[in-house]
Amino acid sequence: MTPSITLGPFYPVIRPTDTDADLTRVAGRTGLAQGEVIQLIVKMVDRQGRPIIGGLVELWHCNAAGRYAHPADPNTAPLDPDFQGFAQIGTDAQGEFRITTIKPAAYPAGPDWMRAPHIHMDARGRSYRSSLQMMFDDPLLAQDRVLTDFDADELSRVIARPLERGVDGMARFGWTMVMLEG
């Protein structure tokens, strides 16, 4: 099973009106989010590996400068008005969803530590809900205090795996979230 990790921080106080699968563009704006554009291919399965069809995932993360579009974020890094930062996506007939976003940055979580790059997810299957964080392989994982109690196996289950770049050159990552039940 994919280990649960705290829901926070910075779940949107005001739900954005644009919640589609492309976080690199905001409806009504012409700009493109700053940072490295990536695609995530995420599969939601139960403990037996069966796809969870019709699951719902809300996801959010900081921008390429390490800042959340949230009034309580103390980070002084700039906001990116062209970064959507939040999406609400359903799983398809294979239990998958895809998003286009930017690779999140590390950010200061206190005076003496940095959070490794990650994406928050509130995942709901048909009968189970879990709070998850999908991590990227990064040197900061070793000192990320949110992960200090994780053994090597648990840590491996929260890290997205790099996939082959597409013909467009975009970096792609795959991740499987294993829910307790469908």
- Using CA atoms, how far residue 12 sits from 16, 106, 110, 179, in Å, is 8, 19, 21, 24
Nearest to 92 by CA among 146, 34, 43, 143: 43
Nearest 10 degrees: Cα torsion 107, 110, 113, 118: -40
Helix (H) / strand (E) element for 99: namely strand 96-102
Separation of alpha carbons 174 and 151, rounded Å: 21
Q: What angle do CA 45, 96, 44 make, to 5 degrees?
A: 20
Catalytic residue ranges: 68, 107, 115, 118, 120
Give me 152's structure tokens.
């090597």
- Look up residue 104 and give its DSSP letter: P
Separation of alpha carbons 101 and 167, rounded Å: 17
